Structure 1
């Protein structure tokens, strides 16, 4: 039997068939190559398994609880999925019928890789090898930052190596840093009714983790690496001084009234407090979009308007998100409430 694992063998199987040779090469340390002789058990029915297994060569039987047998041949085209991997607890037993070779990978890692691969197919195609700095500096947000700040910002980043499966930020935790992906991939999830919901797949040049720095609220999502990689890390103090403060514009109630009356474009006031807060203490003429829902509401906003955010620290966080998305935004400062 073969004693080494080759990239082309891995690419025969889903989801690795969608990955480049360079990406597979990065994943190599996470694969476990192993062999079994004939009439040996790979896994038992009813036993939890933290790995997923792929048959490279040989023949084995999958036996379910009714003793129905499904024969799997390593060389057949139909053998392109992990063996009995739909549940962490095996529903079949796997028994080799000849000498067999396998590669295995942690189930957690496979789910991350699969999720990232499928999500990226729904996005506009991007160059995964693009320089992280080029991707960052050409973003809408960086168009609003003074050149001198950009130079200082790049000097303040610290590089950190990260691994497949590593949780970079966890939903509910406090935040003291934000991150840019220098190389690698990650998946963004959020708990929904007690279960993790996948929100996005991110890659080179993506800035994340800044929401908690803006609002002083707990992290609103979890980011987990779906490959090995490198992150550029920025502290909260440097983020505020070099990124956040330069892009925020403020106005008072009198200036808001003038903007509404005399501005060349329409003005929309957005109250980013929770719905309950907005109902209890309404702000006249303001549209309520809670901060937690603002990113999902961005597609429904028009760049033809000027947006004025309220809600103290949350208002600043909302303005940053809107600026990052390319909208013209100001933050309202007032004592008690908006006047009619």
Structure 2
């Protein structure tokens, strides 16, 4: 059943990714439209193949993620993995079943994307650009097509592996022909892409 969130749950949601990137007013507006549900042990939160455009966050209890009915991961509220939406790829690559009685929040992913886009526009106008830009790139990465292909159990590992690199004007970030071992995301400044046609 859907009901309202407690003050503790609202505080918990403020620490989740990418909700933590939203200012209080934008987050409050978004959460007014969220659905909060208590789900009994053994019930399904969502099914593999669903295309419901919802970010589902685990607030209390434990769930198992299943692929083709086989358990592939377990997630408990308060864990690092639970900071991220469950199996957020669409269509969903996995099903989720309550291992215990659980409490979840369902947030419309399209409304969240709109809120993040508006926030990023405003953030560039404030003076504390250091924190704003860190939140921005984390939010952008979570919404990217690349991360949509990463299993929920591996998202935290990916985010912890991200390294910020400063590149001086005029320096090469990557060179044509070099091994493609990394995924790059430009978070500040501009870059020019040049290609040598003779190199194929």
TM-score range, shorter chain: 0.5 to 0.7
- State the TM-score, normalizing by the size of structure 1: 0.33
8 Å CA contact 1:84–1:90 kept in 2: the answer is yes
Change (3 A) 1:58 1:115: same
8 Å CA contact 2:42–2:98 kept in 1: the answer is yes
Q: 2:81 aligns with which of 78, 91, 104?
A: 78
Change (3 A) 1:106 1:57: same
Q: 1:55 aligns with which of 42, 58, 81?
A: 58
Give the corresponding residue for 2:19.
16
Say if 2:72 is the partner of 1:69: yes
Kindly state the Cα deviation for residue 65 of structure 1 after the two structures are TM-superposed: 3.5
Q: Which has the larger radius of gyration?
A: 1
CA distance in 2, matches of 1:126, 1:109: 26
Kindly state the Cα deviation for residue 86 of structure 1 after the two structures are TM-superposed: 2.4
CA distance in 1, matches of 2:50, 2:106: 16
Which structure carries more relative contact order (alpha carbon 8 Å, separation 6+)?
Answer: 2
Q: How big is each residue's C-alpha offset from its partner over 1:35-85, in whole Å with a ceiling of 9 and x where there is no partner?
A: 101000011111221322110010001112383521110122331111111
**More strand per residue:** 1
Structure 1 gap segments, 5+ residues each: 128-340
Kindly state the Cα deviation for residue 98 of structure 1 after the two structures are TM-superposed: 0.1
Kindly state the Cα deviation for residue 113 of structure 1 after the two structures are TM-superposed: 2.3
Kindly state the Cα deviation for residue 124 of structure 1 after the two structures are TM-superposed: 4.0
Give the corresponding residue for 1:39.
42
8 Å CA contact 1:15–1:113 kept in 2: the answer is no
Give the corresponding residue for 1:194.
none
CA distance in 2, matches of 1:115, 1:4: 25
Say if 2:5 is the partner of 1:4: yes
Of stretches 52-61 and 74-83 in structure 1, the one that deviates more from structure 2 is: 74-83
Structure 2 gap segments, 5+ residues each: 129-200
8 Å CA contact 1:45–1:92 kept in 2: the answer is yes
Change (3 A) 1:65 1:82: same
Kindly state the Cα deviation for residue 108 of structure 1 after the two structures are TM-superposed: 1.1
8 Å CA contact 2:65–2:73 kept in 1: the answer is yes
Kindly state the Cα deviation for residue 3 of structure 1 after the two structures are TM-superposed: 6.5
8 Å CA contact 1:37–1:98 kept in 2: the answer is yes
- SS of the residue aligned with 2:32? helix
- SS of the residue aligned with 1:79? helix
Aligned residue pairs, count: 124
8 Å CA contact 1:30–1:105 kept in 2: the answer is yes
Kindly state the Cα deviation for residue 125 of structure 1 after the two structures are TM-superposed: 2.0
- SS of the residue aligned with 1:22? helix
8 Å CA contact 2:62–2:77 kept in 1: the answer is yes
> Cα RMSD (Å) of the superposition?
2.5
8 Å CA contact 2:64–2:71 kept in 1: the answer is no
8 Å CA contact 1:15–1:117 kept in 2: the answer is no
